[in-house]
């Protein structure tokens, strides 16, 4: 595998004009052409296993694992990371890997194989309640606690917003405008240092500078070329927010199930059916690299499930790794060949980002004088004129030319530092390193050049302090490959590692709702979903209804300009079956006078029974509809309230009930 070979460069030395009246030595390092297992980019599995090119790990976190009750301590969140951010007794700092956590409440709306609900609500919260004032209060407080725990934790690179919907992906239910604003404001205040990623590029999230995680990355059926896909991230990133990648990371997971099951995926024309196929087939690999570069992607999951034990697979994975995120190539480096202790010392270098995305974190570039024998820093300082966050890649990817139409810019860094007066005379190696700012300012990310020494430093030449060196050339025999360096690590403060789980007091659990067809079929705490079709269609919930009770006081309102098949719908938890018989649906409704709404029962999305249209009035009016369950339901029943295909206005309903009447 080329990226893991030891490469001996040909170093070019020349004399450059010295801007302060002398001369600088200029080195032209050779680019390292292999993949580099750099932090904050690459393949992103859901758990650590020591796989190559995997430095980030998504961590799904159940809400009730980090908060048992309303007044639970922040310590429980930190203690959770202490337990889980380690592998075989070694913590993630010593492995030099980081996490991207996502807190969630509902896995997929179903029961697990053991019959247990895959719901993770604290015992003192109602399951499926995503909109009550009590839920919003708890959500805000949890985000604040997450910020307290994670905003300065070096193990956390970025935070996926999560919280709402299946897998925390913010669908089932979709988040409405009120919740978008609340989430945006709360996360922005809670996290000053960490990057935030969201499932969709809404205006609220975009303006806040949040990144994006896209869970069906690469799937052809959701690309703009496939047709009308305005609601999907590829369309948003192409037409609405083409520069979003400059503000926050773009990541996600590659959808391989659809590659195998959906004709629209066209797997033989895109990236195959398995991660191994993507890596091995040159056309599949080229397609994936193009997608990564087009959308400026930093890292991806699912594709990480490649078999690293197969040489051809690992080589292909390395080729794709080079496209992910940042890839900094130093083209030229100049420095003062000799200086006195306490005197000025000049450094200049030119760098370009041959990757597809920024680094996103403002990790400092350090300049050091290394001991020529141990190659350890004798003295080092941070270069305040070097800003890795600003080193951007090229733009406007062309799959035809397989290059950016706007090539990556060359960034020039020039700085004069003052050597310490106490510096001993002698020869030193001149070197650079990129330091992990949060992890104890230790070397971490590497430049894509062959001038590298194990431990994180890039040597460029020899300088003499107090006298000219015998030679300014560094011996290439000291170089090692920058591809993988297992000596690199970051520091986790003892104040975090010493935190243990606080005791759990007795919690008064709320009584969770259960379906009883003879009494009630609709959970008063459970959400109704909005299927959007139209302009500015939004769903909101208020608690000022005309009747008392947990369902009666909640008013569900939908407003906007409706086109196509806009609807709100409800289906029971775990898609519970309704016994055969006669049922009655009852609710109060009002809205824009003359607006027609249709109630219907469907088997999943296919019409089943009870189709009834009614016209809205300005005052509350009760509607009762009967339907029959007499034949086998293929999938599951849904209750639908379908809005007009060509209307505009508002529809409100409350005090909704459904029960078996015979």
pLDDT in tens, 224-281: 988 777 778 999 999 999 999 999 999 999 999 999 999 889 999 999 999 999 999 9
338 and 455 assigned to the same domain? yes
User: Residue 363 pLDDT > 70, yes or no?
Assistant: yes
- Tell whether 380 is covered by a domain: yes
Confidence of residue 563 (pLDDT cuts 50, 70, 90): confident
Determine the pLDDT at residue 5: 32
Determine the pLDDT at residue 9: 40
- Tell whether 651 is covered by a domain: yes
Confidence of residue 3 (pLDDT cuts 50, 70, 90): very low
Confidence of residue 633 (pLDDT cuts 50, 70, 90): confident
Confidence of residue 550 (pLDDT cuts 50, 70, 90): low
565 and 620 assigned to the same domain? yes
Q: Nearest CA to 213 among 255, 256, 275, 276? A: 255
Across 577-595, average pLDDT: 95
445 and 549 assigned to the same domain? no
- Whichever domain contains 392, its CATH number is 2.60.40.770
Question: Packing angle between helix 177-190 and helix 133-150, nearest 10 degrees?
Answer: 30
18 and 78 assigned to the same domain? no
416 and 471 assigned to the same domain? yes
- Whichever domain contains 554, its CATH number is 2.60.120.260
Last residue of a domain, one of 199, 231, 251: 199
- Tell whether 321 is covered by a domain: no
Last residue of a domain, one of 138, 165, 199: 199
- Tell whether 411 is covered by a domain: yes
Q: Between the CA of residue 80 and those of 94, 162, 172, 318, 655, what are the distances in Å? A: 18, 18, 27, 33, 41
- Tell whether 478 is covered by a domain: yes
66 and 131 assigned to the same domain? yes
- Tell whether 655 is covered by a domain: yes
User: Residue 21 pLDDT > 90, yes or no?
Assistant: no
The count of structural domains within the chain is 3
* 323-334 burial: b if 16+ Cβ within 10 Å, else e: bbbbbbbbebbb
5 SS3 class: coil
Question: Packing angle between helix 75-84 and helix 133-150, nearest 10 degrees?
Answer: 60
481 and 581 assigned to the same domain? no
485 and 586 assigned to the same domain? no
424 and 573 assigned to the same domain? no
User: Residue 22 pLDDT > 80, yes or no?
Assistant: no
307-362 tens-digit pLDDT: 999 999 999 999 999 999 999 999 999 999 999 999 999 999 999 999 999 999 99
Least confident of 466-470, 523-527, 541-545, 593-597: 541-545
- Tell whether 260 is covered by a domain: no
User: Residue 188 pLDDT > 70, yes or no?
Assistant: yes
Last residue of a domain, one of 450, 471, 495: 495
Across 107-126, average pLDDT: 93
12 and 131 assigned to the same domain? no
480 and 334 assigned to the same domain? yes
331 and 464 assigned to the same domain? yes
Question: Packing angle between helix 282-295 and helix 311-321, nearest 10 degrees?
Answer: 20
Q: Between the CA of residue 117 and those of 110, 250, 357, 573, what are the distances in Å? A: 6, 32, 40, 9
Q: Which domain holds residue 578?
A: 529-660
| Cα 395 to Cα 373: distance, rounded to the nearest angstrom | 43
Pairing verdict, β 158-160 and 195-198: parallel
Across 423-444, average pLDDT: 97
Q: Between the CA of residue 341 and those of 22, 25, 376, 426, what are the distances in Å? A: 17, 19, 19, 10
6-19 tens-digit pLDDT: 333 434 444 443 33
- Tell whether 57 is covered by a domain: yes
Q: Between the CA of residue 623 and those of 180, 521, 525, 599, 661, what are the distances in Å? A: 32, 17, 21, 10, 16
């Amino acid at each position: 595998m080329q990226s893991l070979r030891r490469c001996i460069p040909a170093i070019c030395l020349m004399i450059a004009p010295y801007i302060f009246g002398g001369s600088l030595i200029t080195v032209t390092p050779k680019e390292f052409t292999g993949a580099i297992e750099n932090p904050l980019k690459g393949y992103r599995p859901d758990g650590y296993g020591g796989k190559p090119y995997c430095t980030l790990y998504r961590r799904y976190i159940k809400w009730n694992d980090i908060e048992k009750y309303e007044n639970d301590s922040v310590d429980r969140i930190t203690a959770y990371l202490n337990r889980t951010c380690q592998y075989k007794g070694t913590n993630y700092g010593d492995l030099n890997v980081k996490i991207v956590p996502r807190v969630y409440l509902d896995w997929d709306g179903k029961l697990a194989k053991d019959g247990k609900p895959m719901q993770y609500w604290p015992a003192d919260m109602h399951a499926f309640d995503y909109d009550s004032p009590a839920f919003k209060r708890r959500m805000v407080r949890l985000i604040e606690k997450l910020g307290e725990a994670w905003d300065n934790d070096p193990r956390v690179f970025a935070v996926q917003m999560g919280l709402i919907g299946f897998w925390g992906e913010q669908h089932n239910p979709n988040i409405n405008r009120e919740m978008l604003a609340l989430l945006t404001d709360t996360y922005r205040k809670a996290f000053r240092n960490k990057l935030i990623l969201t499932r969709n590029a809404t205006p609220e999230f975009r303006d806040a500078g949040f990144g994006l995680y896209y869970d069906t990355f690469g799937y052809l059926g959701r690309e703009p070329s496939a047709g009308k896909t305005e609601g999907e991230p590829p369309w948003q990133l192409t037409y609405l927010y083409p520069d979003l990648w400059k503000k926050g990371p773009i990541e996600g997971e590659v959808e391989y199930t659809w590659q195998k099951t959906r004709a629209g995926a066209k797997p033989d024309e895109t990236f195959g059916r398995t991660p191994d196929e993507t890596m091995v087939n040159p056309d599949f690999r080229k397609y994936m690299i193009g997608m990564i570069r087009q959308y400026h992607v930093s890292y991806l999951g699912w594709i990480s499930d490649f078999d690293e034990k197969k040489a051809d697979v690992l080589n292909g994975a390395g080729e794709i790794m080079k496209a992910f995120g940042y890839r900094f190539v130093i083209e030229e480096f100049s420095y003062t060949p000799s200086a006195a202790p306490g005197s000025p010392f000049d450094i200049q270098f030119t760098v370009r980002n041959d990757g597809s995305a920024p680094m996103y974190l403002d990790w400092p570039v350090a300049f050091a004088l290394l001991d020529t024998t141990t190659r350890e820093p004798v003295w080092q300082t941070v270069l305040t004129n070097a800003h890795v966050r600003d080193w951007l890649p090229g733009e406007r990817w062309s799959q035809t030319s397989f290059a950016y139409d706007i090539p990556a810019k060359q960034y020039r860094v020039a700085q004069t530092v003052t050597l310490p007066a106490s510096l001993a005379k002698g020869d030193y190696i001149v070197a650079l390193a990129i330091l992990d700012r949060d992890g104890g300012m230790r070397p971490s990310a590497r430049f894509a050049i062959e001038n590298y020494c194990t431990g994180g430093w890039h040597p460029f030449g020899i300088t003499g302090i107090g006298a000219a060196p015998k030679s300014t050339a560094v011996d290439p025999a000291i170089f090692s490959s920058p591809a993988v360096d297992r000596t690199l690590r970051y520091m986790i403060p003892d104040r975090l590692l010493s935190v243990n789980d606080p005791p759990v007091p007795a919690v008064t659990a709320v009584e969770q709702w259960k379906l009883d067809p003879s009494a009630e079929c609709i959970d008063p705490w459970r959400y109704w979903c909005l299927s959007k079709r139209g302009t500015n269609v939004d769903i909101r919930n208020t608690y000022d209804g005309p009747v008392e009770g947990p369902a009666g006081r909640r008013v569900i309102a939908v407003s906007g300009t409706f086109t196509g098949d806009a609807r709100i719908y409800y289906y029971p938890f775990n898609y519970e079956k309704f016994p055969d018989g006669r049922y009655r649906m009852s609710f109060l409704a009002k809205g824009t006078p003359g607006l027609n709404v249709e109630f219907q029962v469907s088997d999943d999305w296919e019409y089943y029974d009870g189709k009834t249209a009614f016209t809205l009035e300005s005052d509350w009016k009760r509607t009762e509809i009967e339907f029959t369950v007499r034949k086998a339901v293929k999938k599951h029943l849904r209750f639908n309230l379908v809005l007009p295909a060509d209307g505009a206005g508002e529809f409100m309903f409350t005090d909704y009930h459904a029960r078996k009447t015979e």
